[in-house]
Chains A and B, each alone.
Chain A
Amino acid sequence: MAPVATTFFFYFLSALTVLSGVLVITRKNPVHSALALIMSLLGQAALYLMLYAPFVAGVQIILYAGGIMVLFLFVIMLVNIEKSQKEEQFNKQWLVGLAAAIALGALFVFVYAKGRGLFPDRAVQMPEQSNTQQVAVLLYGNYMFAFEIASLLLLVAVIGAVVMAKKRI
């Protein structure tokens, strides 16, 4: 299907994503930050759809907005947020940190302004119907070993999380 109103949707979704990102790092209440992060992740999932990556978009929604964010909200529920909300939200070296981040942003601007021609725009027309199939072929073909390592990593993470959250370490 030919894309409709691509320009409008791109600017709308990127504005949603970036503004929610700003909310994530400025809100006092961690629950508000988590909700803003969910909005940002959903906007990014829609951007993936615009880039002809429906499988990654689905994984993003199911794993990030569904799984990881529930984990975050659980932990926010377990820790005491009333006390931390009354305290100072930004640490002492916030000015230096902000300057460093702005320097990084200036570096990005410089690189992208200089290397504008380096990023070609011959967008391959990808068949979205068989996207999942092709990703699976790559995942179980070229990247079989990396896939197994990733499963091992998840096992280690599960054991680590259980050990960390035990009553007596």
Chain B
Amino acid sequence: MAPISTLHYLVVAAALFVLGVIGVLTRRNVVIVLMSIELILNAVNLNLVAFSRIWGLHGQVFAIFVITDAAAEAAVGLGILIAFFRNKETVNVDEIDLLKW
């Protein structure tokens, strides 16, 4: 079999990215939408680390920053979800329409 090249890792990352996009666009449960966002961020991280094998360690440092961002986003997103659930007793995305008229 052919040796594993950078392109192999990029294809895996693209598959994860597309899965995350499908999850964000089609699921109703907010918790699973947030998990799909984590999948997307992880696909980006895999790309960064795969390229850092070629162009030096900067990609790995950037991957760490992306993980920090993901932690912050998950904390705030889940906090919003708790506040919303307390008010409306639902976790479905299409029922979050407080700002619509």
Contact = CB atoms under 8 A, between A and B. Distances in A.
Contact of B83 (A56, A97, A169): A169
Contact of B22 (A17, A25, A160): A25
Interface centre among B9, B11, B53, B58 (most CB of A within 10 A): B53
Contact of A25 (B32, B42, B73, B89): B32
Chain A interface category by residue count? 35 or more
A98 B25 contact: yes
A157 to B, nearest CB: 3
B36 A24 contact: yes
A146 to B, nearest CB: 6
B49 A161 contact: no
Interface residues of B, number: 72
A68 B25 contact: no
Contacts of B46: 44, 47-48
A47 B9 contact: yes
Contacts of A153: 68-69, 72
B67 A64 contact: yes
Given A21-B19, A25-B22, A10 B4 contact: yes
Interface of B: 1, 3-12, 14-23, 25-29, 31-32, 34-36, 38-39, 42, 45-46, 49-50, 52-54, 56-58, 60-61, 63-65, 67-76, 78-83, 85, 89-94
